[in-house]
Amino acid sequence: MTPNQNDGNLARTSATRRIVFVAAPGVEILDLVGPLQVFARASDMHSRTNPGSPRIYSVEVATISSRRSLIANCGLRITADKTFREVRGKIDTLLVAGGNAIEQNEINPEAVRWLKKVAARTRRVGSVCTGAMFLARAGLLDGRRATTHWNWCEVLIKRAPRADVDPDPIFVRDENVYTSAGVTAGMDLALALVEEDHGSRLALKVARNLVLYLRRPGGQSQFSAALSLQLTDRKPLRELEAWVLDNLHKPLTVPVLAQRVAMSPRNFARVFTKEMKTTPAKFVERLRVEAARRRLEESHNSMEMIASECGFGNVNAMRNVFQRALKIPPGHYRRHFRHVKQSSEAKKKG
């Protein structure tokens, strides 16, 4: 999503904003350090260009366990700045990282009450990945649109029945409550918050420095169509992916696909839709969009050639599909990627 620019202008201030990350035992390490690094880098870069000015962010980690020391799900031991019981003072933004204890709902009821109380006096509250489960436990997602890691959306629906859970976006903002998708999507969210606070210029500098998109184009889906085929137990369907990717320029109708896996068209359509939770036509379209995106990013081929290679037939058809799927025309997508790439290359040469 695109941040509300008016809100961002009103929010900008020279005061230091206090960012508190909440971590539980078994925290997903990237949920924590990824977005934390975005805020830290933003503060460092701002300080270098504005000597003598206060840091724009102070970042700290609070654990909901009884001790400051905790072990991440990768086995790394982390020492938090404080436990939740030791948190005092005003918080600008509070972000909950996902992880094992939160996913298994092994949360101290005292910590739930604390989160609910602190959230009421915090300007922004959010979650990274499955940290949304903690927000749900505290009732902070009730009546709101939210997201989480695609593999946990069904669980979140059960734990937050009054929330509108959307499995597709990278992150969602509903008033002052933010939720993000899986793992590295927390960095997308953090960049969006930096942009709200201090504008797109600083956010873009941070994105370039960390080799990230400032905004992933067009509400991009959390995972690719090609990866989703790997989730099925049916070997013929898994093998179909490679063949489709090699033959995107051909008419990929249901009869053609069915013949490839030695099934009747009717049975193929039924089995495919049941296994993949989408129709063959929509799946092929997603593969074509992903292939076209890669060509736009990596090649100097003309729009006409890319449209033909990826099976769209013509540029207008490709443009219509891009606009519907990614909310951005292919020409804008290519210009955005080249702008970031050229800026990075120029910086390396400098």
Model confidence over 271-327: pLDDT tens digits?
Answer: 999 888 889 999 999 889 888 987 887 788 999 999 999 999 999 999 999 988 877
Q: Over the range 36-50, which residues count as b (16 or more CB within 10 Å of their CB) and which as e? A: bbbbbbbbebbeeee
Give the Cα separation of 248 and 284 in Å (integer): 8
Parallel, antiparallel, or unpaired for β 124-128 and 177-180? parallel
Give the Cα separation of 203 and 81 in Å (integer): 26
Q: What is the pLDDT of residue 338?
A: 56
User: Is this model's pTM higher than 0.85 or not?
Assistant: no
Number of domains in the chain: 2
The one-letter amino acid code at 5 reads Q
Q: Domain containing 307: what range?
A: 225-341
Q: What is the pLDDT of residue 217?
A: 54
Give the Cα separation of 95 and 35 in Å (integer): 9
Last residue in a domain, options 186, 219, 252:
219
Give the Cα separation of 215 and 169 in Å (integer): 12
Chunked mean pLDDT (size 10), the chain, 350 residues: 36 78 97 98 96 95 96 97 97 98 96 98 98 98 95 95 90 95 93 92 88 63 58 72 86 95 94 88 90 82 94 95 86 70 48
Are 105 and 44 contained in the same domain?
yes
Beta-bridge partner residues of 146? 165
Q: To which H or E segment does residue 8 belong?
A: helix 5-11
Parallel, antiparallel, or unpaired for β 77-79 and 17-23? unpaired
Q: What is the pLDDT of residue 76?
A: 97
Are 211 and 257 contained in the same domain?
no
Nearby residues of 159 by Cβ (< 8 Å), 6 or more positions away = 105, 133, 136, 137
Distances (CA, A) of 86 to 7, 61, 114: 31, 11, 11
Q: What is the pLDDT of residue 341?
A: 47
Are 199 and 68 contained in the same domain?
yes
Are 73 and 165 contained in the same domain?
yes
3-state SS, residue 221? coil
Are 229 and 210 contained in the same domain?
no
The one-letter amino acid code at 302 reads S
Q: What is the pLDDT of residue 344?
A: 45
Last residue in a domain, options 188, 219, 250:
219
Q: What is the pLDDT of residue 6?
A: 35
Last residue in a domain, options 219, 245, 274:
219
Please provide the DSSP assignment of 52-96 as one string: TSPPSEEEEEEESSSSSEEE-TTS-EEE-SEEGGG--S--SEEEE
Q: With left for phi above 0 and alpha for psi between -120 and 50, is residue 331 left, alpha or beta?
A: alpha
Q: Assess if residue 347 is contained within a domain.
A: no
